[in-house]
Amino acid sequence: MAVDYHVIEGQTGMSASDLEALYNNLGAQGWKVNQVLELQQNRRRVIFAQAGAVIEYHVVDYATGADTTSVEQTLDQLGLDDWMLAEIFPLKQDLRRAIMMRGPGVTGGGGGIPEAPTDGLQYGRQSAAWTQVVGGTGGIGEAPQDGTTYGRNNAAWSATFDGGSF
């Protein structure tokens, strides 16, 4: 499957809310952050890949020096609302910016297969989409229940030798 990319580049220093608005504009067109690159001290390049679905963005600035437990709790709280961490980069010596995203196909590490429909039916993947599985019992039938030990042989149940008495 071919992947379409979109690249933007610019000066650093944009506010979190302005950057969030820019990313959400691109996300509404199906663009998903793939990589943020530091080009020079005050310039960044952001590479987006076409996700084929609307992607939402949330930009969070936070002070450095927070203990790992606090950072984890903050990320976990955002995760409860399905926000996935896409990227973290430095803003200033004492400030970091986290780019969060959510939407179809946004899973751990920025990629993955979206969840199958949750309607109680069984699904499988076919041609890059979820397809309902129909027919069949989905397994091997039960062995005869007559007190004998059975094993599978040539796609059928066969009585096994139990070793006799010793």
Q: Residue 109 has what pLDDT?
A: 42
Task: Please give the mean pLDDT across all residues of the chain.
Answer: 81
DSSP code of residue 83: -
- Could you give the angle at the alpha carbon of 153 between the alpha carbons of 147 and 159, nearest 5°? 20
Pairing of strands 84-92, 95-102: antiparallel
Backbone angles phi, psi at 80, to 5 degrees: -60, -30
Q: How far is CA 57 from the centre of its chain?
A: 15
- pTM flag (> 0.75): no
Distance CA 97, CA 90 (A): 6
Tens of pLDDT, residues 10-40: 888 888 999 999 999 999 999 999 888 887 7
The percentage of the chain sitting over the pLDDT mark of 70, rounded to a whole number, equals 86
Tens of pLDDT, residues 137-148: 556 778 888 888
Profile the chain (166 residues) by mean pLDDT over runs of 10 residues: 85 88 92 85 86 90 84 85 87 85 69 66 75 70 83 82 58
Report the greatest alpha carbon distance in the chain.
84
Distance CA 5, CA 13 (A): 24
